[in-house]
Amino acid sequence: MAIRFDVVYHPVVVKDDIPKIPKKWKEKIKEAIEEKLTTNPESFGKPLRRSLKGYRKLRVGDYRIVFRIQSRKVYILGILHRSIVYEDVSSRI
C-alpha cells in the first residue's frame, strides 16, 4: 500500500496565488496535486538548485508548484506562472 502524504499550503499560496490562477488551470493544478503530490511526490517533483536547494517543482502547463517534502507532509510554497515563480518563491523562504 502506498504512503499517503498530507499537503500543507503556505498562507500566501491560499491568499494570493490560487485566486490569480485562471479557472481552466485551477482544476488541472488541483488534479496534479491530488494525484501526484499526495501519492509519490519524490517521483513527480524535479529537484531545484541554488537558492531553492531542498525544494522541488512540479510542472503543470505554464504553472509551477514549488514544494518541499518533510516526513509525510508536502509543504507547497508557491503555485505561480513559470515566468515569475522562482523570484517570488525565493522571497517566501
Please report whether residue 60 resides in a domain: yes
Q: How confident is the model at residue 3 (pLDDT cuts 50, 70, 90)?
A: confident
pLDDT tens sequence across 38-64: 999 999 999 999 999 999 999 999 999
Please report whether residue 1 resides in a domain: no
Please report whether residue 13 resides in a domain: yes
- Output the pLDDT for position 93: 86
**pTM over the 0.85 mark:** yes
Q: How many domains does the chain have?
A: 1
Residues 6+ apart with CB under 8 A from 90: 51, 52
- Output the pLDDT for position 4: 92
1 pLDDT exceeds 80? no
Please report whether residue 12 resides in a domain: yes
Strands in 73-81's sheet, in edge-to-edge order, are 6-9, 73-81, 63-70, 56-60, 46-47
Q: Is 30 exposed, middle or buried (0-12, 13-18, 19+ CB in 10 A)?
A: middle
Please report whether residue 61 resides in a domain: yes
Please report whether residue 41 resides in a domain: yes
Q: What is the CATH number of the domain that holds 21?
A: 3.30.2310.20
* CB-CB neighbours of 74 under 10 Å: 22
pLDDT tens sequence across 61-90: 999 999 999 999 999 999 999 999 999 999
Domain of 42, in residue numbers:
6-90
